[in-house]
């Protein structure tokens, strides 16, 4: 928020009164006697102090304790908007939640402090990239134009897999898209990657990994969780077929959401 200093808003009436006076005052004495103009700090008082404290806090070092121990992949800077493209997993939410609860009970003895992945469930079609505020609308229009000819379809979620992020600071349990449907998703991915290339942004992983993250924990625990993979897979097999309707894509830019419906 810009702070406005109102400057000479009350000076005109004062100078008119002085012109009526018959005595001409010395300019030097006028300068000395003229009271200082109010500043934004004096006008706003404690509000301004709190604002600066908040800004200092916002621009300070990243604190993992504020978000479950997670460490940012890139430093937070004012004006940077974390952005990613995804398919919402809306058609199988109840089944995925049932698996989450059963898996948390199974893994509790490991004391890894496993956490359910943030809602809503989704299948990512881009890496998390950074946009400047002035780029957001144009970037969204480019995505919309690139997806105009794409048709919707269903995919099946089938096999569990253990992942780590690129920094190996978090470990995930995710369910992958069945191999039979990956080609269809690649057709959707191509125009998204072209837009990323146009904006000189990183494209999706090569080869791509299409999955929905379900649980996560802080640290690199890939080997420990792989030992439990068979038991976890048995839990997933008790669920009905997990179908994901790819009929729209979302682009999340900070607190902004853009939706692109497919044919």
At 149-192, the pLDDT tens digits run 999 999 999 999 999 998 999 999 999 999 999 999 999 999 99
* CA dihedral of 46, 50, 53, 55, whole degrees rounded to 10: -130
Nearest alpha carbon to residue 199 among 88, 87, 81: 81
State pLDDT tens for residues 102-134.
999 999 999 999 999 877 899 999 999 999 999
**pLDDT tens digits for 247-262?**
999 999 999 999 999 9
Tokens 């079609």 correspond to: 125
Longest CA–CA separation in the chain, Å? 99
Q: Closest Cα partner for 119 from 83, 163, 88, 86?
A: 88
Phi, psi of 93 (to 5 degrees): -60, -45
Closest by CA to 260, choosing from 139, 155, 120, is: 139
Mean pLDDT of 57-61: 42
Q: Which of 52, 134, 211, 250 is catalytic?
A: 211
> What is d(CA 201, CA 76) in angstroms, rounded to the nearest whole number?
17
Residue whose token pair is 């460490």: 71
Active site residue 134: no
Between 229-237 and 93-107, two packed helices, what is the crossing angle to 10 degrees? 150
CA 147 to mean position of chain CA atoms = 22
Q: Which tens digit of pLDDT belongs to each residue from 193-223? A: 999 999 999 999 999 999 999 999 999 999 9
Marked catalytic residue, from 52, 67, 122, 221:
122
Question: Quick count: other Cβ atoms within 10 Å of Cβ 139?
Answer: 23
Site of tokens 């038991």? 231
Domains of the chain: 79-261 (3.90.1140.10)
Count Cβ atoms within 10 A of the Cβ of residue 46 and give its class: 0-12 exposed, 13-18 middle, 19 or more buried. exposed
- CB-count burial class (<10 Å; 0-12, 13-18, 19+) for 262: middle
Model-level pTM?
A: 0.72
Q: Is 122 a catalytic residue?
A: yes
SS3 per residue for the chain: CCCCCCCCCCHHHHHHHHHHCCCCCCHHHHHHHCCCCCCHHHHHCHHHHHHHHHHHHHCCCCCHHHHCCCCCCCCCCCCEEEEEEEEECCCCHHHHHHHHHHHHHHHHHHCCCCEECCCCCEEECCCCEEEEHHHHHHHHHHHHHHCCCCCCEEEEEEEEEEEECCCCCEEEEEEEECHHHHHHHHHHHHHHHHHHHHCCCCCCCCCCCCEEEEEEEECCCHHHHHCCHHHHHHHHHCCCCEEEEECEEEEEECCEEEEEECC
Confidence band of 27 (pLDDT split at 50, 70, 90)? very low
pLDDT over 50 (residue 15)? no
Tally Cβ neighbours within 10 Å of residue 173: 25
């Amino acid at each position: 928020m810009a702070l406005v200093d109102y400057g000479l808003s009350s000076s005109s009436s004062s100078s008119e009164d002085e012109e009526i006076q018959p005595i001409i005052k010395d300019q030097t004495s006028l300068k000395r006697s003229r009271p200082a103009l109010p500043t934004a700090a004096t006008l706003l008082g404690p509000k301004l102090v709190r604002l600066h404290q908040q800004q200092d806090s916002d621009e300070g070092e990243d604190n993992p304790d504020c978000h479950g121990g997670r460490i940012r992949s890139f430093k937070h800077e004012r004006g940077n908007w974390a952005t990613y493209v995804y398919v919402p997993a809306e058609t199988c939410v109840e089944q995925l939640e049932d698996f989450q609860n059963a898996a948390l009970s199974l893994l509790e003895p490991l004391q890894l402090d496993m956490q359910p992945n943030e809602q809503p469930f989704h299948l990512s079609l881009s890496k998390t990239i950074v946009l400047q505020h002035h780029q957001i609308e144009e970037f969204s229009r480019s995505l919309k134009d690139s997806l105009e000819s794409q048709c919707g379809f269903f995919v099946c979620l089938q096999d569990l897999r253990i992942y780590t992020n690129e920094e190996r600071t978090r470990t995930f349990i995710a369910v992958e898209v069945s191999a039979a449907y990956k080609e269809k998703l690649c057709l959707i991915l191509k125009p998204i990657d072209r837009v990323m290339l146009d904006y000189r942004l990183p494209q999706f992983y090569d080869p791509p990994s299409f999955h929905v993250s379900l649980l996560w924990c802080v640290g690199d625990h890939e080997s420990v969780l792989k030992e439990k993979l068979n038991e976890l897979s048995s839990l997933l097999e008790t669920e009905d077929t997990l179908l994901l309707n790819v009929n729209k894509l979302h682009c999340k830019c900070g607190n902004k959401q853009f939706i692109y419906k497919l044919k």
